[in-house]
Chain A
Amino acid sequence: MASAGTSASTPIAAAADSGRGDSAIPAVLLRGLTRYFGERAALRDVHASVPAGATLAVLGRNGAGKSTLLRILATLLRPHRGEVALLGEPLPRRAWAVRGRVGLLAHEPLLYRDLSGRENLSYHAALHGVERGRVEELLGAVRMERRADEPIRLLSRGMVQRLAVARAVLHRPALLLLDEPRANLDPAAEELLEPLIGRACGATRVLTSHDPRSALAEADLVLALRDGRAVYFGEPGGIDEQALRELYA
């Protein structure tokens, strides 16, 4: 596995400098990103660059910093050091400019348990200034029209995940942050959601998965994290089975 260093001469920094689209502005640009929780560095000196429309798979065992990275990209956490730019806008200074263009599918569905799926989606649609018709369109797309008026707490976890996907893509985000997007989904539901959060959706995607092989299969770029440090950033072909085993060891 190639090691990801920190200076501008390393492959990771070079990739961060150039992106894959060369002159195009990367959708996600990280330069020396560091984030602490108390004394502990959850992310340390992470570099990466993701061109628009590409998929970045973030790999690493539990506690490696994957969810922290996604929360920083979602503007929910501030970076403590380094630079982060999303869709050409630097964070956290211009976080307000990208908030409506980022969709987050997190561990938690971010839905109120005592409201129905329709009420939850309508609430988020109103906050994002999205037309009401989009709610009905997405309820249809995730096949939840028939149970759209039941409180979330009465639905199965798979159904809740389908609604969470609908919430994440409600405002047609240019950047999708997907934290274990297929959790609780059966194969049929995975297929159903593919047009919304799969490669075909057209958005730039940053995803984590408990299944690194499936994440690699749909990634254009891979960022491997170990204890908050980037140990690999590059094409999926550059990471082999042995490296994957070491990463999750």
Chain B
Amino acid sequence: MSTAVAGASRGRAPAWLVVLRKDLRLELRTLETVPAMILFSLAIFVIFHFGLGRQSVAGQEAAGILVVTLLFASMLAVNRLFVAEREQGGFEGFLLAPVDRSALLLAKASALFLFMAALEVIAVPGFALLLLGPPLGRVLGPLVAVLALADGAVAVIGTLVSAIAVQTRARDLIGPIVGLPLQIPALIAAARALGPLLVRHGSTSPPGEWLLVLALYDLLFALVAYAVFDFLLED
């Protein structure tokens, strides 16, 4: 990290922020990822609406549908996260620069987190309109907190898996096959934390133990990703 930090201390933007800005600019320019995630999520809500044959869902059932849908939608971003780096020489361009390689991990995880946040800005109200029975207004704050922690897990694990997948021929398969099982503990914790919030006249604060599980899971995989990411960029 020394070079990146040194650069930042001389008034330069830190390398991770440089890469993140480039990724956001590319996404705004091409609109290849977030719109697809939004359309996918809304389509899944419609499918659940007709598939379940019910006007609305609530509680643990609603939490499960929301979290699973967001998780599946995240796979679209995970599969594309490093594609431009692989296909357009972005890896080489980055690796030739005198910056710490973990800057790429931080930038990509931040980009994935922001993609998830952008998705949820549309998908969660869409879920409330299409499927959810109880109103969301009074639990919006706790809902955002739970989703932010869940997005942290998606961002860190997704970046790690995407960096592995992009080195392989079967990158579209590696993301779901490796990534989804790793996300199961985060999925369980997020769904359990959201369940009590999505009940009419239910709790307005999520269960603390599940928030703690989510936070610890985020931290664990952040450390794992930091430890192994350099090796993933090796030839």
Residues in chain A within 8 A of chain B (CB atoms): 74-78, 96, 99-100, 102-104, 106, 108-115, 119, 123-124, 126-129, 151, 167
Contacts and interface: CB of A to CB of B under 8 A. Distances in A.
Contacts of A103: 96
B144 interface: no
Nearest to B235: A77
A74 B13 CA distance: 24
B7 A129 contact: yes
A127 B15 contact: yes
A110 B89 contact: yes
Contacts of A77: 235
B90 A112 contact: yes
Given A77-B235, A115-B22, A126-B12, A110 B92 contact: yes
A127 B94 contact: yes
Given A106-B89, A151-B29, 9 more contacts: A76-B92, A109-B89, A110-B88, A111-B88, A114-B30, A115-B22, A115-B25, A115-B26, A129-B7
11 contacts: A99-B95, A108-B88, A109-B89, A111-B89, A111-B93, A115-B22, A115-B25, A124-B97, A127-B97, A129-B10, A167-B93
B22 A100 contact: no
6 interchain residue pairs of minimum CB distance: A100-B98, A110-B89, A127-B97, A126-B18, A110-B93, A108-B89
A124 B93 contact: yes
Contacts of B97: 99-100, 124, 127-128
Given A77-B235, A108-B89, A99 B96 contact: yes
Contacts of B234: 78
